[in-house]
């Protein structure tokens, strides 16, 4: 069996961090099993779906490195849905219902007042042909419900939650089609999973009851259902469901200088028993991905943790990975020198300005003689053989200075800062001419 997973976003907005996590986990499982990861654009809602969001979804998955092996769109599959619908209708598994939304709301209120669950009472099944003809003659178009089989227990072994059991008698027959003929999520999704040969569906635990309903749809169609894995929902750093999570997406991460590797590394591991580590290589995340390691507790997403993880990821990025984003002229040696001081790649341009100059050095007048001595010694150094070590050794011998009194005035004169990359790596990049010129700057 070829494993096939799918990510099925609706193009009614941008992907947020919860969507990204679901896409990542479906991708990881497909890659681990040597299978296929499919992108299905669930665009049955013509009024709210927009092409710009379709393009954004593709771009976001590309930035994250989650390239799908296939793509399809629900809007191209309406004929298939119609055929399946008619087949189910013919065997009595879908039926028309004529209640208005106001009437349904009133029924729910009455049930609640009696302490009963707000279940649909199946009143539409008691209508005669004459009743239906009369309603439709009055201009009332029906919506359509899927008829659950109350005599069959709904059971499955969830890959994360373990054995699951639902009683269909405690669930309402779900509406699958609106009065205007448009489709709701439930039936088209089940049809597509069956027709596309989807073997595994990884999604949030808020879909557990949907899975129970859809399992009966698969059975009614005579189709083998996928295996389901329902993962705990993301919560904010405060441990509660957060509206802010719905606004955090790829655009936000990119603007904050977050690398896709950091997003993958965090979202692959939070909510599992595995430690969150700065793993840039997707192969390692794929190899260690295991549903058995997922917990039932909410998975906490903390932007501060992502930022810290990103810093560690950046410190391990090769020059080739970032070259296109570095300032013109900045090469491998410069990148490796400044990389340990970066929280994100964009900060490399600040250190490039330090290397290239000009800089403004705020030096202490008390260090004037010391820096003059350094300017005298610098031209004679062997600039091909660790000039920083030579310079500091010569200055220590000539002036008797050591420690902070030796190193800090030099760093300030040469970089204009009190901290930064290792001067052993930085000084050769500044070069002899710039070094001498900076040491000779007027004391301010």
pLDDT tens column, 152-176: 999 999 999 999 999 999 999 999 9
C-alpha distance across the termini of the chain, in Å: 75
Q: What number of other Cβ atoms are within 10 A of residue 146's Cβ? A: 22
Q: What does the DSSP 8-state code read for residue 272?
A: B
Assess whether 47 and 132 both reside in one domain.
no
Do both 119 and 132 map to the same domain? yes
Local confidence band at 8 (pLDDT 50, 70, 90 cut-offs):
very high
Crossing angle, helix 423-430 and helix 432-439, to 10 degrees?
100
Residue 210: helix, strand or coil by DSSP? helix
For residues 39 and 24, membership in a common domain is answered with: yes
**Domain around 385:** 365-439
Phi, psi values for residue 323, rounded to 5°: -50, -40
* 189-198 pLDDT, tens digit each: 999 999 999 9
pLDDT tens column, 217-227: 999 999 999 99
Residue 110 has pLDDT above 50, yes or no: yes
Does the pTM exceed 0.85? Answer: yes
Q: Is residue 24 part of a domain?
A: yes
Long-range interactions of 371-375: CB distance < 8 A, separation 24+: 371/409, 371/410, 371/413, 371/439, 371/443, 372/439, 372/440, 373/398, 373/399, 374/410, 374/413, 374/439, 375/436, 375/439, 375/440
DSSP three-state, residue 270: coil
- Return d(Cα 377, Cα 20) in angstroms, integer: 57
Same domain? For 350 and 402 the reply is no
Do residue 92 and residue 56 come from a single domain? no
Please check whether residues 88 and 155 belong to one and the same domain: yes
Q: What pLDDT digit, counting tens, does each position of 286-295 carry?
A: 999 999 999 9
| Shared-domain flag, residues 389 and 400 | yes
Say yes or no: 261 and 246 in one domain.
Answer: yes
What mean pLDDT is predicted for residues 212-241? 93
Question: What is the pLDDT averaged over residues 106-128?
Answer: 92
Could you tell me if 161 and 208 are in contact, meaning their C-beta atoms sit under 8 angstroms apart?
Answer: yes
- Is there a single domain that holds both residue 332 and residue 380? no
SS (H, E, C) 110-130: HHHHCCCCCCCCCHHHHCCHH
Same domain (yes/no): 288, 343:
no
Residue 220 · residue 85 · CB < 8 Å: no
User: Quick one: tokens of 297?
Assistant: 């507790």
Q: How far is Cα 118 from Cα 76, in angstroms, rounded to an integer?
A: 35
DSSP H or E segment with residue 285: helix 282-288
Is 170 contained in some domain?
yes
Last residue of a domain, one of 356, 383, 415: 356
Tell me whether residue 412 is in a domain: yes
| Least confident range of 95-99, 100-104, 129-133 | 100-104
Q: pLDDT over 70 for what percent of the chain? A: 99
238 pLDDT tier (thresholds 50, 70, 90): confident
- State the pLDDT at residue 444: 46
Asked, for residue 379, whether it belongs to a domain, the answer is yes
One domain, residues 106 and 130:
yes
Least reliable range by pLDDT among 29-43, 94-108, 155-169, 429-443: 429-443
- Is 214 among the domain residues? no
307-330 tens-digit pLDDT: 999 999 999 999 999 999 999 999
User: Is position 190 within any domain?
Assistant: no
Report DSSP state, residue 182.
-
Predicted confidence at residue 246, as pLDDT, reads 84
Q: How many domains does the chain have?
A: 4
Residue 52, C-beta contacts closer than 8 angstroms, at least 6 positions apart: none
- The response to whether 243 counts as a known ligand-binding position is yes
What mean pLDDT comes out for the span 365-390? 94
Q: What is the pLDDT of residue 442?
A: 52
| Mean of all residue pLDDT scores within the chain | 95
Of the residues 316, 346, 378, which one is the last residue of a structural domain? 316
- Asked if the model's pLDDT at residue 241 lies above 80, the reply is no
> Which pLDDT score is estimated for 48?
92
Q: Is residue 221 part of a domain?
A: no
pLDDT per residue as tens digits for the range 40-57: 999 999 899 999 999 999
Instruction: Give tens-digit pLDDT for 137-146.
Output: 999 999 999 9
The verdict on residue 262 lying in a domain is yes
Same domain for 269 and 283? Answer: yes
């Amino acid at each position: 069996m070829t494993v096939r997973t799918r990510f099925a976003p609706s193009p009614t907005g941008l992907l947020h961090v919860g969507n990204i996590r679901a896409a990542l986990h479906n991708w990881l499982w497909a890659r681990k099993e040597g299978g296929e990861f499919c992108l299905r654009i669930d665009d049955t809602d013509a009024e709210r779906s927009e092409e710009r969001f379709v393009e954004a979804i593709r771009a976001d998955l590309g930035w994250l490195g989650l390239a799908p092996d296939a793509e399809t769109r629900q809007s191209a599959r309406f004929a298939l849905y119609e055929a399946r619908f008619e087949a189910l209708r013919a065997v009595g598994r879908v039926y028309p219902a004529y209640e208005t939304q106001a009437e349904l709301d009133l029924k729910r209120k009455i049930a609640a007042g009696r302490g009963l669950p707000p279940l649909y009472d199946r009143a539409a099944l008691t209508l005669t042909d004459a009743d239906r003809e009369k309603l439709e003659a009055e201009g009332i178009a029906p919506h359509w419900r899927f008829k659950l089989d109350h005599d069959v227990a709904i059971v499955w072994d969830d890959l994360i939650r373990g054995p699951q059991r639902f009683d269909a008698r405690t669930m309402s027959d779900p509406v699958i089609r609106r009065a205007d003929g448009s489709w709701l999520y439930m039936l088209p999704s089940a049809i597509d999973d069956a027709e596309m040969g989807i073997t595994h569906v990884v999604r949030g635990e808020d879909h557990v009851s949907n899975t129970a309903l859809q399992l009966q749809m698969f059975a009614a169609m005579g189709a083998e259902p996928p295996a389901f894995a329902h993962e705990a929902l993301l919560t904010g750093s405060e441990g509660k469901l957060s509206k802010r999570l719905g606004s955090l997406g790829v655009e936000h991460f990119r603007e904050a200088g977050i690398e896709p590797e950091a997003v993958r590394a965090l979202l692959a591991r939070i909510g599992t028993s595995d430690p969150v580590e700065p793993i840039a290589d997707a192969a390692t995340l794929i190899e260690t991905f295991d549903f058995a390691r997922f917990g039932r507790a909410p998975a906490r997403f903390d932007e501060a943790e992502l930022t810290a993880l990103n810093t560690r990821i950046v410190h391990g990025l090769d020059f080739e990975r970032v070259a296109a984003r570095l300032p013109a002229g900045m090469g491998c040696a410069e990148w490796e020198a400044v990389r340990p001081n970066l929280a994100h790649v964009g900060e490399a341009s600040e250190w490039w300005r330090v290397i290239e100059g000009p800089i403004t050095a705020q030096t202490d007048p008390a260090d004037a003689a010391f820096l003059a001595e350094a300017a005298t010694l610098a031209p004679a150094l062997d600039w091909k053989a660790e000039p920083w070590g030579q310079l500091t050794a010569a200055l220590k011998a000539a002036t008797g200075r050591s420690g902070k009194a030796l190193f800090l005035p030099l760093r300030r004169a040469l970089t204009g800062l009190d901290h930064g990359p290792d001067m052993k790596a930085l000084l050769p990049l500044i070069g002899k001419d710039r070094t001498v010129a900076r040491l000779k700057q007027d004391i301010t």
